[in-house]
Structure 1
Amino acid sequence: MKTFSAIALAMTMAFAAQACTSAPPAAEAQVAQTQPTPKIVIYHAEGRRSERVVWLCEELGLPYELKFRRGDVAGSFEDIFAVNPGMRVAPTVFYNDELLVESGAILEVILDRNGNGRLVPPVNSADYGLHLKFMHFAEGTLASDVIADYRVARATDGKAPRGEKETDGQRAMRFAEDHLAKYPWFGGSEFTAADIMMVFPISYAIRMNVADPAKYPRIAAWQQKVEARPAFKRMLAIARPDGRVAPPPSLTLP
């Protein structure tokens, strides 16, 4: 009995080891199980973060339906409220029957299900951590800091912060600038969805005069590269056909 038990135990352990080594990594399994082309409906407002979802779909060649009232941001938000009264935000996206909000989360859902490994570095690569960091840094740090800087300035004298001491938003911009001294893209060696995420807060910081573009030459060069992408140009033509609609006032330069 002892001999039989030992043999059975050895066979069980060998089988378990073989099963473990032959199982694909989770990320590879996700790619292998890419879902059929979904029905994507994007509720959009011009100049808002919903542009990210349009841009991603253009990069991936995924069909989508875009809903917004051209030149009428308030009207676009009325339409969003009608389908998503609990959270009137752009983007509001229907992925088949799923209601999705938060642009970063929406991008990750689409990439995980329909990206076929595109615009995301391999999980075990050195670039993956960079990509994921800036996917979340874009909103979690940069956008929140530059928008806070803008609101503080508007609530006081309305002047652009240009003192020797960096604001939180300017410090976040410096962090992004320093990254681009080492890598060509925010996702590392290649363009990824992290670059799509970073465009909005960087453009906001420059356009609203929260940050001085002369201090961030690497960011300026990166902006030229991303804005030259055909998918970005298609997004602008589709999602912002008349330019920015009713933009907030920029801070006054000293």
Structure 2
Amino acid sequence: MLTIYHVKGTRSVRVIWVCEELNVPYQVEVIDFSPEYRASAEWRAKSPTGKVPAMTDGDLTMFESGAMAEYVLDRYGYGKLQPSPGTLAAAHCRQWCWFAEATFARPLGEIVNHRRVAPNGELVDFVIEDCKARARTCIDAIEGVVATSPYLVGGTFSLADIMNGYTLMLADNFGVLTDDHPHTMEYYRRLGERPAFQVAREAG
């Protein structure tokens, strides 16, 4: 059985969400998020950088949430949540999946890191505002699609929506997702109505 090593609200939400959508059996193991445990040999054997999440499936051990989600689809999805391979829709699905982490999540992660390393909590306002501005540019890109389509790829719910749905959750937490993007707000609301997303958000 799949084991997802998880801390509430982290990127393992994506993997749990995929499993819930597909009705794939899995178990969640909530880990100790302390710096000491994440630096331990036990955890580094699963996640070499010490980050969350990680996943095991038999002899397989993986880290990186997007790769884990793709593995679950390839192994257990039987064509669900992804367009047919080699199609234009498949290319766009991959584009949006990579966008969710490589482009959209990056400035949001920089906000977290800045808050973590700022001495005595002395945040540099213009750094935070630059990160938020770059995140809003990413929401602009999503807005341009969901203004005319219920989902990001071909009007059909897919892994692209799961990957970006989690990043929108982060953006919402940081107050970056606002009424300035009404179609994205509605899109995120609809994603939030999915039982699988609700389970994933509350896990842990």
TM over 0.5: yes
Instruction: Give yes or no for the alignment of 1:224 onto 2:189.
Output: yes
Selected match of 1:168 from 134, 142, 160: 134
Mean Cα displacement is larger for which, 149-158 or 95-104?
149-158
Indicate how the Cα distance of structure 1 residues 187 and 96 shifts in structure 2: closer, same or farther if over 3 A, else same: farther
Indicate how the Cα distance of structure 1 residues 225 and 140 shifts in structure 2: closer, same or farther if over 3 A, else same: same
CA–CA distance in structure 1, aligned partners of residues 58 and 193 of structure 2: 31
CA–CA distance in structure 2, aligned partners of residues 80 and 120 of structure 1: 36
Instruction: Give yes or no for the alignment of 1:115 onto 2:81.
Output: no
1:234 CA drift (Å): 2.4
What residue is the counterpart of 1:207 in the other structure?
173
- SS of 1:215 mapped into structure 2: coil
Cα deviation 1:138-186 (Å, max 9, x = unaligned): 0010001333356568731389739xxx822211111111121232112
What residue is the counterpart of 2:119 in the other structure?
none
Instruction: Give yes or no for the alignment of 1:106 onto 2:68.
Output: yes
Give the number of equivalent residue pairs: 195
Matched residue type, 1:95: D
Q: Contact (CA 8 Å) 1:44, 1:50: kept in 2 or not? A: yes
Indicate how the Cα distance of structure 1 residues 226 and 56 shifts in structure 2: closer, same or farther if over 3 A, else same: same
Matches within 5 A, 1:1-254: 39-69=1-31, 73-74=33-34, 78=38, 82-85=42-45, 86-148=48-110, 155-157=123-125, 161=129, 167-209=133-175, 211-237=176-202, 239-240=203-204
Look at both structures and tell me which one has the larger radius of gyration over its CA atoms: 1
CA–CA distance in structure 1, aligned partners of residues 65 and 183 of structure 2: 25
1:99 CA drift (Å): 0.9
Q: Contact (CA 8 Å) 1:177, 1:219: kept in 2 or not? A: yes
Q: Relative CO higher for 1 or 2, CA cutoff 8 Å, sep ≥ 6?
A: 2
CA–CA distance in structure 1, aligned partners of residues 24 and 106 of structure 2: 30
**Structure 1 gap segments, 5+ residues each:** 1-38, 241-254
1:224 CA drift (Å): 1.2
CA–CA distance in structure 2, aligned partners of residues 40 and 79 of structure 1: 23
Cα deviation 1:95-154 (Å, max 9, x = unaligned): 211110111011111111110000001225443232111111000100013333565687
**Structure 2 gap segments, 5+ residues each:** 116-121
1:77 CA drift (Å): 5.2
Indicate how the Cα distance of structure 1 residues 212 and 230 shifts in structure 2: closer, same or farther if over 3 A, else same: closer
Q: Percent identity?
A: 27
Q: CA RMSD in A?
A: 2.8
Mean Cα displacement is larger for which, 122-131 or 59-68?
122-131
Cα deviation 1:16-39 (Å, max 9, x = unaligned): xxxxxxxxxxxxxxxxxxxxxxx2
